[in-house]
Amino acid sequence: MDEENQRSTDYGSTYERMNDKVGSKTVLSYLYVCPSNKRKIMVLTDPEFESSVFISSDEGASYQKYRLSFYILSLLFHPTQEDWALAYSHDQKDGPLWTLNTRRQHNFVDMEHSQTT
């Protein structure tokens, strides 16, 4: 097996490339499995190349891509609410002001950081 992200549905007897599902030039960095619904998966792209999250509800058989305007460095699913996740990001402004973003883009609610003046 080479150094790429692969998925197996038969306990490792066979594998398929994840890049066949998300795009051959997509660089994936982290994969997260929902603790309350093992069929739900979130995959983060490498922020050096693009900022996106791929979400699957069928154990990675297919993915929906969401482009982001910020970089997610780490992600954590809520332990009981499968549609809730906490994402960590930073912009190196030392966090002087945090506000709730209620635009609900892509069904995400996030906290946005802005510099006070």
Tokens of 13: 């007897």
113 has a pLDDT exceeding 60: no
Strands 28-33 and 16-17: unpaired
Q: What is the CA radius of gyration of the chain?
A: 16
| 64 vs 4, more confident | 64
66 has a pLDDT exceeding 80: yes
The reported pLDDT for the residue numbered 84 is 83
Runs of H (alpha helix) within the chain: 19-22
Could you give the CA distance from residue 81 to residue 20 in angstroms, rounded to a whole number? 29
Mean pLDDT of the region 10-31: 70
The pair phi, psi for residue 20, each rounded to 5°, is -65, -25
Confirm whether pTM is higher than 0.85. no
Residues 6+ apart with CB under 8 A from 86: 75, 76, 78
> Which of 13-22, 32-41, 51-60, 103-112 is the least confident region?
103-112
The label of the residue with tokens 């510099």 reads 115
